[in-house]
Structure 1
Amino acid sequence: MAGDTTTVAPSRWEGAPVPEPAEGGRKPRRSRLHRWDLRWSPYAFVAPFFLFFGVFGLFPLLYTGWASLHRVELTAPDEMEWVGLRNFSRLLGDEFFWNALTNTVTIGLLSTVPQLLIALGVAHLLNQRLRGSMFFRVAVLTPYATSVAAATLVFVLLFGRDHGMINWALGLAGLDAVDWQNGAWTSQLAVSTIVVWRWTGYNALIYLAAMQSIPHELYESAALDGASPLQQFLHVTIPSLRPTILFTCVVSTIGATQLFGEPLLFNGGAGATGGADHQFQTLGLYLYEQGWVNLHLGRASAIAWAMFLILLIIGAVNWLVARRLRRSS
């Protein structure tokens, strides 16, 4: 109707205090701190790793490389005499270096090949439905958690010439006792046995983790095609584990190249010489002998860098093989 007036109900927000604007610069300052946090926090989190790597990894590596180009004794590390590549050229004609390299390769083969084969078998057994499977998984890892010194001393008793359990078992079989520590092949075989015992369980758990990631459909398809359990293992499990097997081969090879504790303690009386005839002296022992027994820090640094170059070659071979495997798959 004309003349009627409509009244609008007052809003419940009317009369409410209006918030004052933020003080100048507070909101921009907060957003700036937030941007800095997003940008620089990841670097702050990883900075401790690079700091420790630089102090305990990169600096010793570079200093060792610099010392390898000098004649320097451990008794006077500040007195360096420049000799260039003489320490490296001397290694090429050093029969003890080549003997240590040969022993390292031999012990590496004697320990790596059986170790990985046994680890594959153990992982395959652990991958089955077993009662108390967790107990067995922990049990196979126990040797890895054992001290190198304790394990080696036990094996020294086992391989003793006069009262060792190994020779006692050989005697029961009608065989002559073996002087494990003084023989060339026997001492290397004994040292390799220690390495196999310590690292088989570790590699078995790596293989087990890889086996559990293989799709069960592959096994079901193979079973429908009439494949036996052995055929499934050879044609399904092994091909699926090729990257993992390559990884364990490389890691085991690197460990064999740096082998030190087992041969050092296997014949404690011989010290770093690796036996009376250097029959089981590895590169690690030879480095220790030159640097901390003969006090030739420059020569020891050259041996360290030679080992580093060998590891670089192993890494390059690993990269080439992995690349070929990726292409073939």
Structure 2
Amino acid sequence: MVDDARIQDCHRRIAEGWLPLMPEGQWSVSYLFWAPAGKAVYTETTAIDREGKAHPLSQPPAVHEALHELRDAMSDPQRGAWISSEFKLTDDGVLEASFNWDRRFYWGVHAGSPWAPDPDPDTPDVPDDNAFVDELERYPREHLFLPAWYPRHRVVDGERLDDAALDPRRADPDHHDRFETPRNAAVSLPDEVKPLQDAWGWPGVFASINDAVLGNMDRREGREADALLGETGDHERDAALDALIDDAVASTMLVLDRSPALASVRLLREWLAVRGERGPANLEAANRGDALAALLDRTGEVGDAARVTRARLESIVRLVVEDNVDDRFDAVS
């Protein structure tokens, strides 16, 4: 739960530590960019004097401490922590803040920094991918809230760590090898879902679906694994595939259930938009910050909207899961 009092206290401490840096009567506004990544903090403070000239400043340790605490206070179990922040302090002590949750920044002296990479292809990105993975480990995000650019894997000595390095269960070579073909099979989206590839939130949902299929597949052992691989006959194989689909759908919906209902409403809006459909009349009633699961048992318009939203999303998720599983196990046949 967000601690508003703690957040307000952090804002107060930032302003109180920053304001004394400004010579009274000699400046009009000051700007601060602050972004931690890995073991470093990338920051710049500039004061604009009465003549419009910019002057660099260094923030005291107390401001950095307050910023670290602010980021932690604003973090969310599903959404993680913001990536960077920007502040504006006016000469009358008014502090304004904005927070970037989804956009990568590139530190340097090149044109376009911090929002564009260095145009020199030989210049490595700063921060590098591993620094962002560090932040993801500190403040995990559900796939729904993970931007497409965000690195998922650490690179060591030029080699990307694969899932076996991150998941000890997959490090069992015998278990891993049994599912090598379906694991490595190419998968595609159903045609009716492909327009969502670039829609808000859906790339994260598709990543969650893929993880759910692979994770539930890897949990199959013994006769369940035999059945999935068609080693016990067609009847058992069909039943095993249906069970895998059901489990992967349930795993994906658990992520959506724990996320704010307003995210699910936005996902459904994106689906309706690409299909040119009108949504349920009461859809906005579920556009709330509460977890979707918390609204499902409500009576009245809010509960009705939440249940309709979830049912529609589950039907889309099932379409994608079915294609994902079919693509993987068609490769086994």
TM-score, length-normalised on structure 2? 0.25
Task: Select the structure with the greater relative contact order (CA < 8 A; seq sep ≥ 6).
Answer: 1
